[in-house]
Amino acid sequence: MKKKICVYAISKNEIKFVERWYNSVKEADYVCVLDTGSDDGTFEKLKELGAIVEQKKYDFFRFDEARNDSMKLIPDDADICISVDLDEVFEGGWSKIVKEKWTGNVSRARYRYTWSFNPDGSEGVVFMADKMHKNKAFKWVNPVHEVLSPIEDKPYITIDLPELRLYHKADETKSRSSYLPLLELSVQEDPTNDRNMHYLGREYMFYGKYEKAIETLKKHLALHSATWKDERAASYRFIGYCYKKLGKFDEAEENFLKAILEADYVREPYYDLGEFYYDNERYLKSAVAFEEMLKIDSRYLNYMSAPKCWGKLPYDYLAYCYYKLGDYGKAIENTDKALSFGEDERLSGNKRYFESKLK
């Protein structure tokens, strides 16, 4: 039997993205959108393009409620559903991949998601997203940073489709001011939700509320359900960053080291420790941290993977550390590695200076 795919979404004032988005998702058998109150022509343009679209305005908006309402537009005969926001774009041919790989007993799929791009256009944060699911088998939960949850409490099969690529091309002018109160609500509703406790602590950090961030991130680490080492390491890293901003350097160092102990197989904790030592002019320790970081050559595709760990900056830091330590040969060597990522006049000037010192 031929499988049918439905792409569904929520929208509000996305007119600048509508046509690009629709052209990337129209390979689906159905395209459904719940508009939550656009006044810029988004709703009308979606109808014109051929989407199944309805409009609903909310007195109090929460993402899980809106996404669950958007699922009500999905036709009953759709087999596979994919939530795709209007600032996201699929690589062509995606529907063929899904239909070929999705067998009768599959309920969910992960795919390669580029969440951000670097200034030079290269990929930034990349991870495996999982918003593809069997129809009528899942619901959305959490007011923000919402996730899919199975309707029935029983095991199900998830497949990985790394060849399927979705790109996030965000509107940087859009406010995320609603995230903090919605995260506070989420944790209030479920204090045992480890993921959103972590997100709330991170959000406090973004807002410069460092004491509240530390308190919240420690709560995350204390939860019995907080077992994912990558995320636990991120909480320690963020606590370290907050202590650094508060001028409590011993506590900052302790938490950066704890992050490494939690997940010594990812680069981010080493980077943060190396940067911390660098900022405090402890160049030997900084060099050791960055050298240890560079021994890790496999990048984990999760949302915490930091692009800065995989670019020129670690070599730039190392070059200066070795210069301060009097090892001009290694300073030149690491500057060359940094320059391999692209021309940089400052780095070229540094190299000429290091060469003069070597002579």
What integer pLDDT is reported at residue 175 of this predicted model? 67
The mean pLDDT of the chain is: 95
For 300-314, what is the mean pLDDT? 92
pLDDT tens column, 2-26: 899 999 999 999 999 999 999 999 9
In this predicted structure, the answer to whether residue 105 has a pLDDT above a threshold of 70 is: yes
Q: 5-168: CATH homologous superfamily?
A: Spore Coat Polysaccharide Biosynthesis Protein SpsA; Chain A (3.90.550.10)
What integer pLDDT is reported at residue 134 of this predicted model? 97
Topology of domain 179-280 in CATH is 1.25.40
What integer pLDDT is reported at residue 313 of this predicted model? 97
Q: Tell me the domain boundaries of the chain.
A: 5-168, 179-280
Cβ proximity of 57 and 102 under 8 Å: no
In this predicted structure, the answer to whether residue 190 has a pLDDT above a threshold of 70 is: yes
pLDDT tens column, 207-249: 999 999 999 999 999 999 999 999 999 999 999 999 999 999 9
Rounded distance between C-alpha atoms, residue 123 and residue 252, angstroms: 30
What integer pLDDT is reported at residue 358 of this predicted model? 84
For 60-72, what is the mean pLDDT? 97
C-alpha 174: how far from its chain's center? 17
What integer pLDDT is reported at residue 2 of this predicted model? 84
For 97-125, what is the mean pLDDT? 92
What integer pLDDT is reported at residue 158 of this predicted model? 97
pLDDT tens column, 310-335: 999 999 999 999 999 999 999 999 99
Cβ proximity of 262 and 236 under 8 Å: yes
Task: Name the amino acid, one letter, at 68.
Answer: N
The pTM for the full model equals: 0.89
In this predicted structure, the answer to whether residue 272 has a pLDDT above a threshold of 70 is: yes
Q: Which residues contact 327 (CB under 8 A, 6 or more apart)?
A: none
How large is the angle between the packed helices 229-245 and 194-206, nearest 10 degrees? 30
In this predicted structure, the answer to whether residue 173 has a pLDDT above a threshold of 90 is: no
